[in-house]
Amino acid sequence: MPRLPRLPRLDDRGVAVAYLAVGLLLHGVGLSVTGAPVTGAAAWWLHAGLLLVACGALTAKRRHPVVVLLVAATTCVAGLAIGGSLGLLLVLVDALYTAEVHLRPRGRRGLHAVVGTLTAAAPVTVWVLGGGLRDGLAAALQAVAVLVTPLWWGSDVRSRTELATSEAQRADLTRAHAADAARIADLDRAAAVREERASMARDLHDVVASRLSAIAIHAEAALSAPPDAGRDRAALTAVRAESVASLAEMRSMILVLRGAAEEATGATAAAGLDRLDDLVATARAHGLDVRVSADAPALPAVVDHAAYRIAREALTNAAAHGTAGGRVDVRVAAGEGGVEVEVLSALPTGDRRAAGPAPALGSATGLVSMAERARSLGGRFAAGPQDGRWRVHAVLPLEQEGAR
């Protein structure tokens, strides 16, 4: 269905010209406020001059509403003295409406006081001049129609405009808050990734340092003793094994530190799955029903530590967001593509930190750190609800790409 064309919107000058044309037309047919026909060329030209002045002032009604209202009221009173002009009355109604819309609260209060006084004085004046009850009531109704109605109309329009402006500002604030929250979340994720990378780098440094120390010890022992082919060969074999392992660890460290630019402080022990029992005991002491199934082969140090850290972070989240006394199943086993770490716990039901401190199991940096640790080793990570429980699952390859 074709849309109807919108009517052109008149500006203040167009409205003033329209009032002037309507007022002159009403004068031409002999209509006035008092009902008496306008007679005489002088009276007609006087009405037209007053209407021209009032309509000319109306072009500035938005910039100077008080001045325009005073001009409209003065010309309307002057017109009443010579019979009254319907065109001047229309200009007065428009000026009252504009003043109600654009004046400040203090100016509106003054306007309301003046209009209220005039409305109340209209029937009293008629009665003092000898009019009856009917004439006084008619004067009151006319005053309400001419003076009060445009104020009520302008107040309604102003309220709707202010409400629309307030809603638009509220929507802008909501969008700004949402954008700020998204930026904060991105910064938090980036900080968690950097912190986890720095922690892994420190752990790998400890492991590599221990291997290099072993190499130095074997080399020193071989050099300090008299030459012996069998003993020297055994020392060189040990040195080679430690060197190959150190090279693999160093390559893993390079992969982990790729993209990390900030230097972390502090120290973290390079714990592995051999400390899983201690971790489980701590979790049980804080109210978790933890059941463990661990059957993994000997792992490279970097993989061993990553598996331990993922299990620790998963238990931390289970303690912080799960139900007190809930069951947690921890499984570590060799699987397709590497070692699997799986932790099943109750679905999150709220934040238990409001009821008391969370167990000191890990850093509680959440899913971001676990995912980053798995991806840095070339593994896979997934977390989410499954069969009515919360599942954390990671697969860590036994050999990282680039370390072979």
pLDDT at residue 401 greater than cutoff 60:
no
3-state secondary structure string, 365-399? CCHHHHHHHHHHCCCEEEEEEECCEEEEEEEECCC
**What is the helix (H) or strand (E) element at residue 338, kind and residue range?**
strand 338-346
Residue 404: pLDDT over 90: no
pLDDT digits (tens, 9 = 90+) for 6-63: 444 567 788 888 878 887 887 766 666 655 555 555 567 787 888 888 888 888 888 8
Is the pLDDT score of 294 beyond 70? yes
What is the DSSP-derived secondary structure letter of residue 390? E
Identify the top-confidence range among 82-91, 122-131, 144-153, 212-221.
144-153
CA dihedral 294, 299, 301, 305 (to 10 degrees): -30
278 vs 200: CA distance, rounded Å = 20
State the average pLDDT over residues 316-336: 82
Residue 248 above 80 pLDDT?
no
Q: What is the pLDDT of residue 342?
A: 93
Q: Give yes or no for a contact between 367 and 193, defined as CB atoms under 8 angstroms apart.
A: no
Q: What is the pLDDT of residue 264?
A: 36
Q: How many CA atoms lie within 13 A of 352 on its CB side?
A: 21
> Which residues is 386 bridged to in the sheet?
389
**DSSP conformational letter for 399:** S
Choice between 90 and 302, residue whose per-residue pLDDT is larger = 90
d(CA 394, CA 306) in angstroms, rounded, equals 10
pTM greater than 0.85? no
